[in-house]
């Protein structure tokens, strides 16, 4: 029988060859597909890691930007207060110059200065006797925390070395 005339799908037909080639190469392509999927998964993981790092960086930059804006606002407020204090001083000098307000005598100036000096000395004594708790707490955390961790780790190391000695004796 002529092979071109056969109607069956045997090994000699082109479709049979394609099916056999497809079946024999299916495992190889599945292996390649699993490798490609692994690479795609790693790429997705790296992309998400990049996005997380980038977002964190932007957050830190945003905080720094807000802090610089806050600094500029505080500077503006302080300069406005200084301008107001200067204007108040100028108005008081102008009122004294126009004789709408009398100039305090030297005795009154001395008494007011002594009262303010006494008040500031009392404040200095009180402030020096008080403990500044935030500073003490900060020092306790920065010095005490690492010291406690060191003590804990050194106790673990000493316990681990005694266990090793016990095992070596057996």
Q: What is residue 45's predicted lDDT score, i.e. its pLDDT?
A: 96
Give residue 166's pLDDT band: very low, low, confident or very high (50, 70, 90).
very low
The domain of 14 spans 1-99
Question: Kindly report the CA angle at 153 between 149 and 159, in degrees rounded to 5?
Answer: 150
Q: In the numeric block, which tokens belong to residue 101?
A: 């307000």
Kindly state whether residues 87 and 151 are assigned to the same domain.
no
Top-confidence residue, 61 or 150 = 61
Kindly state whether residues 56 and 10 are assigned to the same domain.
yes
Structural domains in the chain (count): 2
pLDDT at 170 over 50: no
Top-confidence residue, 94 or 121 = 94
How far, in Å, are 4, 54, 129 from residue 40 at the CA level?
A: 46, 21, 66
What is the rounded CA–CA span in Å between residue 87 and residue 152? 62
Q: Output Rg (C-alpha) for the chain, integer angstroms.
A: 43
pLDDT tens sequence across 12-69: 566 788 888 888 888 889 999 999 999 999 999 999 999 999 999 999 999 888 988 8
Kindly state whether residues 92 and 166 are assigned to the same domain.
no
Answer whether residue 77 is part of any domain: yes
Q: What is residue 127's predicted lDDT score, i.e. its pLDDT?
A: 54
Kindly state whether residues 2 and 71 are assigned to the same domain.
yes
Answer whether residue 121 is part of any domain: no
Top-confidence residue, 158 or 130 = 158
Kindly state whether residues 72 and 13 are assigned to the same domain.
yes
Answer whether residue 48 is part of any domain: yes
3-state secondary structure of 103: coil
């Amino acid at each position: 029988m002529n092979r071109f005339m056969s109607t069956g799908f045997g090994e000699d037909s082109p479709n049979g060859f394609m099916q056999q080639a497809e079946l024999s190469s299916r495992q190889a392509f599945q292996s390649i597909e699993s490798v490609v999927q692994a690479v795609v998964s790693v790429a997705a993981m790296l992309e998400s890691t990049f996005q997380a790092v980038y977002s964190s960086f932007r957050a830190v930059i945003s905080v720094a930007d807000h802090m610089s804006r806050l600094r500029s606002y505080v500077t503006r407020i302080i300069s406005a207060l200084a301008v107001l204090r200067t204007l108040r001083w100028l108005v008081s000098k102008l009122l004294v110059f126009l004789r709408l307000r009398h100039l305090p005598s030297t005795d009154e100036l001395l008494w007011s200065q002594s009262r303010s000096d006494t008040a500031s000395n009392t404040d200095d004594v009180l402030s020096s006797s008080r403990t500044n708790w935030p500073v003490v707490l900060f020092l306790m955390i920065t010095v005490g925390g690492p010291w406690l961790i060191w003590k804990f780790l050194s106790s673990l190391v000493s316990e681990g070395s005694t266990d090793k000695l016990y095992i070596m004796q057996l």
